[in-house]
Copies of this chain bind each other. A is one copy, B any other.
């Protein structure tokens, strides 16, 4: 017999909503056996009540009127799966005002308005649970908040966008162009018809904002994050980087230095082939976290999809129903932005290694010019590849890997290089990220 029946209202009956409804209605018995909680889907709200869905709801619970959910005082948990920021924000605020705890997978909303929503939740004595907002089925939010609570987090490196990882994996493994790989991802359902938010890195930035605010205990704004997408990545650079021992991934990176300065960035990153993240292929997600006591921990799993995301939503529902989410939420100490904003490190100050590809005229003196510009900017070369043979317009690709150097120096060097007559197209520059290896 159930120790407790938990009535749930769901707003948004799309893909993830259907997954959540499916889990709650079809697996209620086994969830009850494991947790003692009888989950009961009491109300499902969507503007579209007609389109058939791949799940059978109990009779009479589907409605387009959110007030039916808000006014039902026997429903203590509201799940917002509408997506987007405007309507979803109003829905969450209404759920909180109606005395319901909120479970959500909405990363865009939390990244943009999380602090306002968390404040509203605190003021109404409720909580917001959002495991599903970051990396779908990968339990990274609870990992950071609970599993690593004894640690000061020094860095995290995440592959948190399945669309980009699928595209880059295809470009790497099958030598496809970006456009081919994107089309294939769309065909297979791993990319949206409008993939902009994914391929520009915006979605990864949303997730990084949420994860970094937990990991570093600071309110993070999207503006704090430097973002570069994968739209202009070419398969040639993936191949040349591969020759140097690197694999290209879109990484979301959060680092805190010993002065508590926080650096946050999303960009295409060459990482060593033998790093664990290099083996994360296709639509999978993974996050490597470095803690002061635990060293390196990695979480790996499906970052999206109906059932993996629903798994995280229902885990949150269970956690809320047990009362644990409320405790964790109360103890999520975020320092106010006023105190932490000056501690965000600017991208210009980033120290990194860089991969630079120049398409140069195949004539004497070019290397001397390049060498002079790099030297003037105090950039030291760690490796060069120039294959024999010619590219289009009598140009050849020269690929340079640098030793660690400051971003601003590289930016300046690239500007000078771009002005040379002997360099025939805009220089390509990709950061090489040396993820610290916690090894024996």
Which residues of A does B touch, CB under 8 Å? 19, 23, 27, 30-31, 33-37, 131, 137-139, 142-143, 146-152, 166, 188, 190, 217, 274, 276, 279, 281-283, 291-302, 305, 307-308, 310-315, 317-319, 322-324, 327-328, 330-331, 333, 335, 438-440
Max chain B CB contacts within 10 Å: which of A31, A146, A188, A327?
A146
Return the 3 tightest CB-CB contacts between A and B, nearest first.
A139-B147, A150-B314, A282-B440
Task: Determine whether the beta carbon of B319 is less than 8 Å from that of A294.
Answer: no
Task: Determine whether the beta carbon of A146 is less than 8 Å from that of B151.
Answer: no
List residues of chain B with CB within 8 A of the CB of A323.
323, 327
Instruction: Known A36-B333, A293-B310; judge A139-B150 contact (CB<8 A).
Output: no
List residues of chain B with CB within 8 A of the CB of A438.
302
Instruction: Known A142-B147, A282-B440; judge A311-B333 contact (CB<8 A).
Output: no
> Among B139, B188, B295, which residue has its beta carbon within 8 angstroms of that of A143?
B139
Instruction: Known A36-B333, A438-B302; judge A151-B311 contact (CB<8 A).
Output: yes
Nearest CB in chain B: distance from A158 CB, A:
14
Nearest CB in chain B: distance from A291 CB, A:
6
Task: Determine whether the beta carbon of A315 is less than 8 Å from that of B139.
Answer: no
User: A33–B149 Cα gap in the complex (Å)?
Assistant: 11
List residues of chain B with CB within 8 A of the CB of A147.
131, 139, 142-143, 312, 315
> Among B152, B190, B318, which residue has its beta carbon within 8 angstroms of that of A30?
B152
List residues of chain B with CB within 8 A of the CB of A311.
148, 150-151, 291, 293-294
List residues of chain B with CB within 8 A of the CB of A166.
440
Nearest CB in chain B: distance from A364 CB, A:
46
Task: Determine whether the beta carbon of B322 is less than 8 Å from that of A35.
Answer: no
List residues of chain B with CB within 8 A of the CB of A37.
331
User: A327–B318 Cα gap in the complex (Å)?
Assistant: 11
Q: A39 — nearest CB in chain B belongs to which residue? A: B150
Task: Determine whether the beta carbon of B299 is less than 8 Å from that of A295.
Answer: no
User: A291–B438 Cα gap in the complex (Å)?
Assistant: 28
User: A278–B331 Cα gap in the complex (Å)?
Assistant: 38
> Among B138, B294, B315, which residue has its beta carbon within 8 angstroms of that of A302?
B294
